[in-house]
Amino acid sequence: MSGRPLDRSFEEIYSRDATPLYRYLRRLTLSRSTAEDLLQETFLKLHLQLHGGLKIENVRAWLFRVATHLAHDRGKAETRAQVRERQYDSSARAVDIQRALEQRHDLHRTLARLPPRMRQVILLHAEGFTYREMAEITGIEPGYAGVLLQRARAEFKRIFEEQGERNRKRRPGNVR
């Protein structure tokens, strides 16, 4: 059935936007498998909307907005699950979290420490979105997108440098 115009249009959208959307989700969620799941779910929603007759003016922005909402919903559900899990096994869970955090790359740790909205605008900017598109995706005012991006960059730099300093102090045999 790939000969139908709607199917061809969907395939073109997928070919053009899947990779940048996956990159965004991968950085936003810090999880390859979660990013893959959310990518699939986002494109399923697009497919259903297009076959339902919905006209989408800016498909790329729509995809990123839907993916962002799905990621936030997934994050909330995971947080609730972690809270429940910690209630039953707090000591073992704390050790696992610490070990996992120590193994992550400094960049991912820094992104994770950013407030969600700041992390989101940095990732959207990295994907080439304009301030107007970032505002549409995040639900903020277009005039505030640039301000938030600058604040996010400054906070990212502060956290990254702080994290690097802590890592240097922790390494055995580190001589300055």
For residue 44, give every residue at least 6 positions away whose Cβ sits within 8 Å of its Cβ, in sequence order, or none.
none
Q: What angle do CA 55, 57, 63 make, to 5 degrees?
A: 90
The answer to whether 127 and 64 are in contact (CB under 8 A) is: yes
Interval 113-167: pLDDT, tens: 999 999 999 999 999 999 999 999 999 998 999 999 999 999 999 998 887 777 7
Interval 2-13: pLDDT, tens: 446 666 788 999
What's the pLDDT score for residue 101? 55
* Domains, the chain, with CATH or none: 1-103 (1.10.1740.10), 104-176 (1.10.10)
Q: Is the pLDDT of residue 104 over 70?
A: no
For residue 7, give every residue at least 6 positions away whose Cβ sits within 8 Å of its Cβ, in sequence order, or none.
1
pTM of the model: 0.59
